[in-house]
Amino acid sequence: MGPLRGVKVVELAGIGPAPFACMLLAELGAEVLRIDRPGGGLAFGPPELELLNRGRRSVALDLKRPGAVDAVLQLVAGADVLVEAFRPGVAERLGLGPGECQAVNPKLVYARMTGWGQDGPLAQSAGHDIDYLGLSGALHAIGRAGGPPQVPANLLGDFAGGSLYLVVGVLAALVEARGSGRGQVIDAAIVDGAAHLTTVLLGALAGGNWKQERGTNLLDTGAPFYDVYETADGEYMAVGAIEPQFYDELVQRLGITAPDRYDVANWPELRKTLAEAFAGRTQAEWTEVFDGTDACVSPVLPLAGDHPHLVARGTFVEKDGVRQPAPAPRFSRTPTSLGSAPARPGEHTREALTEWGVTGVDELLASGAAVQT
């Protein structure tokens, strides 16, 4: 099921943003075949808990062997998309660059996921999410006044600036290929995506409504009515009462007398008043006070929290004993599905290569170019 049903994707296994992108494509209905190296690559736990690998089968191929490269080209010949996350030039040296792949399939969408991009002075340098955020300016904007930049895990760079931009590129290129009959290469760089995500801030900066000093602006904890506050039990409530009517409800529900919030000189006093109010009750008590209101206040829950709203929507599900996010977004006619559990590297080598029409599977396995686990 899913709106991408019928789309076939070959994934040359990487880490982080490329697997997340391929997970999303699989949950949207695409058939994604993951090409792992024998024994697998960098892992953060046992294979069954590598949730980014869910929803697709795994073939183990040693791409340093010519037979394995030929097998990938046979897969590519019947695919719509190839996703790779090597450093620039590595795929070409393997014989699996855009030239070789589009020679066997001119309609192929060849999607490349990197941190720095395919060109530029840093293209061949190593890096991680935090580096791309740092260079793009996005990291500079996150943090409290007078303090250092705060790291938003690897959600903002790898997955927002990387994976989601890659998927948007793939979907756009697939639509274009339907009309032109030609594929193209997508250069998805995390540094580009992270910079693109700062568009609203740069507009506000140019208009004088945002300052470079973090923690001094409306949406970066500078405003006391857009911040988090500790409760009596050491938990936190998130407050986002920007609009006047929402702010008025916040004040009324807290039962406080607040100074004029439009005078920035009052913000230190207002912050102190809000902090003292929230410290007077537990998180559960405040959650009950604000539940269903327009005060824009919510509890800060741990990962995979169990709030009634999340339960009602099925935002998190349990599969094979592991609590994990359900697919998103949702579709009215072509519902998405969670799909299979994460596969062990090489778990489906024989069956998947055979189903995809690769010739000489037995010979590949005998030579070690392919490995069945």
- Surface-to-core class of residue 85, CB atoms within 10 Å of its CB (0-12 exposed, 13-18 middle, 19+ buried): buried
Which residue's structure tokens are 């919510």? Answer: 298
Q: Is 128 a catalytic residue?
A: yes
Residues 52, 58, 62, 65: is their CA dihedral positive or negative?
A: negative
| 97 dihedral zone (left: phi>0; alpha: psi -120 to 50; beta) | beta
Active site residue 348: no
CB 48 within 8 A of CB 320: yes
d(CA 164, CA 17): 8
- Burial level of 245, CB count in 10 A (0-12/13-18/19+)? exposed
Residue among 119, 128, 306, 362 flagged as catalytic: 128
Tell the residue number behind the tokens 């207002």, with chain if given: 270
* From 36, 80, 131, 158, active-site residue: 158
114 forms beta bridges with 189
Decide: helix, strand or coil at residue 257.
coil
d(CA 40, CA 178): 35
The two structure tokens encoding residue 304: 């995979």
Using DSSP, state whether 23 is helix, strand or coil: helix
Rounded distance, CA 91 to CA 95, Å? 6
Q: How many CA atoms within 13 Å lie on the side-chain side of 186?
A: 31
In angstroms, the CA 268 to CA 43 distance is 46
| Type of residue numbered 272 | K
Cα atoms found within 13 Å of the Cα of residue 160, Cβ hemisphere only:
15
With tokens 């700062």, the residue in question is: 198
Q: Extract the tokens encoding 286.
A: 């405040």
CA distances from 285 to 217, 227, 233, 278, 305 (A): 29, 19, 10, 10, 17
Residues with active-site annotation: 128, 158
